[in-house]
Amino acid sequence: MKSVVIMIVIFSISLLWGSPEFRPEERVYDFGEILEKDGVVEHTFHFRNTGDEPLKIIDVHAS
């Protein structure tokens, strides 16, 4: 119970102080059907920090 109260207090304080907010323009991109012989394909995802604090990206995972 104590840990829940502490988490609520920390969350409330972070809302008051502001925080970064990650806003992607798109969350998914579908390449359609691609054959290996077609070579490498790529897509760039654009995003914006709409919060009022710097946003630091530490790690990214693709699926």
Residue 6 domain-assigned? no
pLDDT score of 60 more than 80: yes
pLDDT score of 61 more than 70: yes
pTM value?
0.48
Residue 36 domain-assigned? yes
Residue 37 domain-assigned? yes
The CA distances from residue 42 to 29, 37, 38, 45, in Å, are 10, 15, 12, 10
pLDDT score of 48 more than 70: yes
23 SS3 class: strand
Residue 7 domain-assigned? no
Structural domains of the chain, count: 1
pLDDT tens, position by position, 6-40: 777 666 655 566 788 888 889 889 999 999 999 99
Q: Which domain holds residue 55?
A: 20-63
pLDDT score of 3 more than 80: no
Residue 13 domain-assigned? no
Residue 49 domain-assigned? yes
pLDDT score of 57 more than 80: yes
Residue 14 domain-assigned? no
Q: How far apart are CA 22 and CA 36, in angstroms?
A: 33
Residue 48 domain-assigned? yes
Q: Which amino acid is at 20?
A: P
Element (H, E) at 24: strand 22-24
